[in-house]
Structure 1
């Protein structure tokens, strides 16, 4: 039985980076690189008629910013996984990418093992970061310090499972609850922490010492 392949496109304005990624992924038979592009517009022209599952996206492109391009990709195909791959380590840029729908963020100095691991985690529906990015977003920010919300025992339990990378289906199975119940708890957690997505939830809960 042939192995299912996950299709991936690379968008980066440095051909040498594209070649390096192709070489790194060549031994991974579950990932098929179906296209590589040095600017955003060429990628969008391709993407509108050839869907891909994963986009490895540089933030600095010659024609359209990666942050805006990420949002456009998610508008066109919400299920497409976008992973930022950049030299930029500014916290504000990381958070903007996540707010626009990115599933992960890696610095270009990440190891090959980190790149492969992040791609696989993103495929599984997790929010994923290279180690250096994880360290950056976990630093407490004075401007973001706020009152710790009151959580129920169940909300605390689900928050920890979300932070461990478990999906809604995984959590429902582990806790013998319905998927709908877990989704309700997830929405309540986002509301209590005043955040819009899981990446912000984990980051804020970590800063507040809840995780």
Structure 2
């Protein structure tokens, strides 16, 4: 199986090392570098391009802010998939404002299994998008889905990031029953039959 290169940007050394071990444990991905600031990241990418960049939304003082960083990465590496990481709703909301440049958002509290699952689905979605761009016979209108409510969209985004219904309810300070209802409603509108179909969504088109 071909390995997909992942580069990580985070200024916390313990988190960096743990995340690297989790990803490298999976045969589908390999971490090419761990960077503490944007200067290290751009230097690393100039030497070894990556398929996926995992970027902490919280940038250290004196470093590029996340918006400027994402804009520069998109300009220099347009085919790379950018995934934001964070640990609070404000960072999730910040990530949302940078779509479609940022393809997804991962909570730092994700279990290793959910993290790898999220990476796999993000990469599968990327490959599918690339294929659609090359296929002139595809009718883009066929993929238009009914509009979700703001709450349904947020629930779908958390589920897409790998959180369970219970974890999403905790993050959004809602009941599990409410989140389950919003999940079912969103899946009905999007014509999804299985929970795994959520990971195949292109969030920027919701």
TM range (shorter): 0.5 to 0.7
Distance verdict in 2 for CA 1:165–1:27, change over 3 Å: closer
Contact 1:105 1:130 in 2 (8 A): no
* Structure 1 residue runs of 4 or more that deviate by more than 3 Å after TM superposition: 132-137, 157-161, 163-167
Find the residue that maps to 1:18 and give its secondary structure.
Answer: helix
Quote the offset at 1:34 in angstroms.
0.6
Contiguous gaps of at least 5 residues in structure 2: 127-156, 175-187
CA deviations over 1:69-101 (Å, ceiling 9, x no partner): 12221221222111111123225313123x251
Alignment of 1:94-105 (within 5 A): 94-97=95-98, 99=99, 101-105=101-105
Give the number of the structure with larger relative contact order, counting CA–CA contacts within 8 Å between residues 6 or more apart.
2
Structure 2 partner of 1:71:
71
Matched, 1:160 2:191: yes
Task: Tell me, yes or no, if the aligned pair for 1:12 and 1:39 is still in contact at 8 Å.
Answer: yes
Q: Whose radius of gyration is greater, 1 or 2?
A: 1
In the alignment, the residues of structure 2 paired with residue 110 and residue 130 of structure 1 have an alpha-carbon distance, to the nearest angstrom, of: 7
Q: Secondary structure at the match of 1:131?
A: coil
Q: Which whole-Å CA distance do the structure 1 matches of 2:71 and 2:124 have between them?
A: 20
1:36 is the counterpart of 2:34: yes
Q: TM-score, normalised by structure 2?
A: 0.62
* CA 166–108 in structure 1, closer or farther in 2 if over 3 Å, else same: closer
**Paired residues of 2:110 and 2:162 also in contact (CA < 8 A):** yes
Q: 1:49-88 alignment to 2 at 5 Å? A: 49-62=47-60, 63-88=63-88
SS in 2 for 1:85: strand
Cα root mean square deviation, aligned: 3.0
Flag structure 1 segments of 5+ consecutive residues without an equivalent.
Answer: 140-156, 168-197, 203-211
Measure the CA separation in 1 of the matches of 2:204 and 2:51.
23
Are the equivalent residues in 2 in contact too, given 1:104–1:118 (CA < 8 A)?
Answer: no
Give the structure-1-normalised TM-score: 0.61
Q: 1:116: which partner in 2?
A: 116
| Mapped partners of 1:45, 1:28: distance in 2 | 26
